[in-house]
């Protein structure tokens, strides 16, 4: 049965590597936006979309305990040394409690949104939750923005080289004609994703019931 999600939480993770590296999270950012703000976006005097002003936001750096791959360190600008010198804690039951509190304070029901989330962010987050013997409770759904974009923004026949067509920066460039800010920083990528969603809000909201999955159906990336 179709439901109307009242809150969309845009999510991005930075981590020590890709799935084959059995990665650990190094940075997590969640930005919660109410349906009202998505349906009634703010614009500047020129009519350009603005980021919603009324949002709840959590951004945390996490000690991954294991080494970052050189590529992940280069991309994210994070390092084990930086995280250690800044006394960052590892993913803990307390962090799970914080994330649960963040979800519970939002107007329900909630849909998490991440780019390539079905393949990467959601399974990795589920693995970290499993590591601390926990999980999110209650009805919670999730949506992969990459999957939706493949439907609502199909590749034109005139485009011959389509590698990178649905990467987060490329979609942003296509929609807004400028470079996204702070790529490969969790908060930067979340805000880029939020703007992309706002740009196609009507389409995303139309497809969300068909393409979203229950959080309970997300399979952990690997067994911790």
Q: Which residues bind DNA (CB under 7 A)?
A: 12-15, 17-21, 23, 26, 69, 71-72, 75-76, 115-116, 118-120, 146-147, 150, 154, 162-168, 184, 189, 219
> In whole angstroms, how close is the CB of 201 to DNA at the nearest point?
19
Q: In what order do the strands lie in the sheet with 25-34?
A: 55-61, 25-34, 7-15, 110-114, 140-144, 213-214
- Contact residues for 221 (Cβ-Cβ < 8 A; gap 6+): 19, 22, 23, 120, 123, 124, 126, 127
- Helix, strand, coil proportions of the chain in percent (round to 5)? 40, 20, 40
Annotation marks residue 184 as catalytic: yes
> In whole angstroms, how close is the CB of 187 to DNA at the nearest point?
11
Nearer to DNA, 106 or 167 (CB): 167
- Contact residues for 215 (Cβ-Cβ < 8 A; gap 6+): 112, 122, 136, 140, 141, 142
> Pick the catalytic residue: 34, 53, 184, 199?
184
Q: Which residues pair with 29 in a beta bridge?
A: 12, 59
Structure tokens that stand for 211 in this block = 């393409």
CA 154, distance to chain mean position in Å, is 21
53-88 b/e (C-beta count within 10 Å ≥ 16 → b): eebeebebbbbbeeebeeebbeebebbbeebeeeeb
> In whole angstroms, how close is the CB of 164 to DNA at the nearest point?
4
Query: What count of other Cβ atoms lies within 10 Å of the Cβ of residue 144?
Result: 22
Nearer to DNA, 73 or 140 (CB): 73
Nearer to DNA, 36 or 71 (CB): 71
> In whole angstroms, how close is the CB of 42 to DNA at the nearest point?
25
> In whole angstroms, how close is the CB of 57 to DNA at the nearest point?
17
Largest CA distance in the chain: 51
Nearer to DNA, 105 or 206 (CB): 206
Indicate which residues carry an active-site annotation: 184
């Amino acid at each position: 049965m179709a439901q109307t999600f009242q809150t969309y939480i845009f999510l991005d993770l930075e981590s020590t590597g890709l799935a084959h590296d059995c990665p650990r999270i190094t940075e997590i950012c969640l930005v919660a936006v109410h349906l009202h703000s998505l349906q009634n976006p703010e614009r500047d005097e020129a009519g350009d979309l603005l980021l919603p002003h009324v949002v709840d936001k959590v951004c945390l750096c996490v000690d991954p305990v294991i080494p970052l791959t050189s590529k992940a360190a280069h991309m994210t600008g994070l390092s084990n040394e930086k995280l250690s010198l800044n006394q960052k804690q590892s993913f803990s039951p307390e962090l799970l409690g914080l994330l649960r509190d963040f979800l519970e304070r939002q107007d329900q029901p909630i849909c998490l949104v991440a780019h390539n989330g079905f393949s990467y962010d959601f399974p990795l987050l589920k693995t970290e939750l499993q590591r601390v013997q926990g999980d999110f409770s209650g009805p919670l759904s999730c949506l992969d923005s990459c999957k939706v974009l493949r439907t609502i923004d199909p590749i034109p026949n005139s485009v011959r080289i389509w590698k990178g067509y649905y990467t987060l920066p490329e979609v942003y460039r296509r929609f807004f004609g400028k470079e996204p800010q702070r790529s490969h920083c969790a908060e930067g990528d979340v805000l880029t994703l939020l703007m992309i969603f706002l740009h196609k809000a009507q389409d995303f909201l139309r497809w969300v019931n068909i393409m979203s999955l229950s959080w309970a159906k997300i399979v952990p990336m690997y067994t911790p």
